[in-house]
Structure 1
């Protein structure tokens, strides 16, 4: 089997089964695991999958920069943002992550809501400047231009001084085994800190992120309390998360 034929086969398996197990494929094709692992490395370098121990998972299509991500599933993100916004109660202190779906949460907060939103996202803060009753606390620091969020030592220091009722978390990958993942190590660490400072973590999980993985672990899936997903996500997709104890909220 030629290299391109092997790679096409691997991508087909990934599409059908949502994972590739190198040992299984090598036995089926009568090839060495080293050959399969080399093919997976090359496909990962092309951004076509995410390598994990023993094989590969789908790469998240949400790995582009902020501008590119605005073009990915905008209707789904609006629906998720609208539903998530209804979860906030008056008097609460809420961490709102950066990202395109988080902007939709800010956009859809009820006009009569009186709460405090803490965010390290200038985009979210600007959106909330229009809200008549929500107080906004902006976390400052070095601007990470890829995601348009503040990061660094000053952001970390500010976050450790706040205890929030809930954290609306944005990630690029949500997987029952690979966990909550994103594309930058420092950003993953900041999200992990936000999780630790919130009583409840709610993941904004548009469909392209479910079952996908990115290079850097934010936290195991059990660190989340709730997934907000689209109403048309099949039960078979969300059932593994439900079995792990997460609450599934449909938009």
Structure 2
């Protein structure tokens, strides 16, 4: 069997099963595990999957930069942002992550809402300039241009001085086994710090992020307080999250 043919079979297996177990794939294709691992390494280099210990998981399409992600699933992100905005209560202190879905969240905040928003995203802060009842606190740090957010030790140190009621997190990937993950090491650290000092962490996940994995884990799934996604997501895709007792808010 040609290498190209084997890789197509592996991608088809990933699509059907939602994961690749290297040992199982080696037996199926009658090749060594080293051969399968080499194929997975090549496919990961092309951005077609995410390698994990023992095999691979689907890669997230949300690994693109901020400008490119603005054009992905726009209607879904708007609906998710609207649903998430309804979860914020008057008087709360709220962390809002960077990202394109977060931008939709702040645009849907009711004009009469009075609350405090803390963010490391310049774009989120700017979107709230005209809101009459929202006090905005910006966290400093080095600007990570890919995601247009602050990162680094200064950002993490500022986060440690705050206690928030809820953190609305944006990530590249949400997976029942791999948890919440993203594509940059420092950005993952900032998200982890935000989650650690918030009473609740709610992830905003458009459907293309579900059942995928990215290189850097933020938090395990068990540390999640809620998930906001689309009502159109198939029930079987949401079943593993419901089984873990995670409240799911459907837009």
TM-score class normalised by the smaller sequence: over 0.9
Question: Equivalences for 1:148-159 in 2 at 5 Å?
Answer: 148-159=148-159
Return the offset for 1:242: 1.1
Give the aligned partner of residue 103 of structure 1.
103
Give the aligned partner of residue 231 of structure 2.
231
For these two proteins, the number of residue pairs brought into alignment is 251
Return the offset for 1:190: 0.7
Q: What do the CA deviations read for 1:76-132 (whole angstroms, capped 9, x no partner)? A: 100100000000000000000000001111110111100000000000000011211
Give the aligned partner of residue 60 of structure 1.
60
Q: Is the counterpart of residue 71 in structure 1 residue 71 in structure 2?
A: yes
Return the offset for 1:151: 1.3
Return the offset for 1:243: 1.0
For residue 95 of structure 2, give the secondary structure of its aligned residue in structure 1. Answer: strand
Q: Normalized against structure 1, the TM-score is what?
A: 0.99
Return the offset for 1:155: 1.2
Give the aligned partner of residue 249 of structure 1.
249
Question: How many angstroms apart in 2 are the aligned matches of 1:110 and 1:222?
Answer: 31
| Stretch of structure 1 that moved more, 145-154 or 166-175 | 145-154
Give the aligned partner of residue 115 of structure 1.
115
Question: How many angstroms apart in 1 are the aligned matches of 2:202 and 2:210?
Answer: 14
Question: How many angstroms apart in 1 are the aligned matches of 2:210 and 2:96?
Answer: 20
Structure 2 unaligned spans of 5+: none
| Stretch of structure 1 that moved more, 160-169 or 18-27 | 18-27
Return the offset for 1:210: 0.2
Give the aligned partner of residue 27 of structure 1.
27
Q: Normalized against structure 2, the TM-score is what?
A: 0.99
Give the aligned partner of residue 16 of structure 1.
16
Give the aligned partner of residue 204 of structure 2.
204
Give the aligned partner of residue 130 of structure 2.
130
For residue 111 of structure 1, give the secondary structure of its aligned residue in structure 2. Answer: coil
For residue 118 of structure 2, give the secondary structure of its aligned residue in structure 1. Answer: strand
Q: What do the CA deviations read for 1:117-156 (whole angstroms, capped 9, x no partner)? A: 0000000000011211111111111100000001122211
For residue 147 of structure 2, give the secondary structure of its aligned residue in structure 1. Answer: coil
Q: Is the counterpart of residue 190 in structure 1 residue 193 in structure 2?
A: no
Give the aligned partner of residue 82 of structure 1.
82
Structure 1 unaligned spans of 5+: none
Question: How many angstroms apart in 1 are the aligned matches of 2:31 and 2:132?
Answer: 64
User: Which 4+ residue blocks in structure 1 deviate beyond 6 angstroms?
Assistant: none
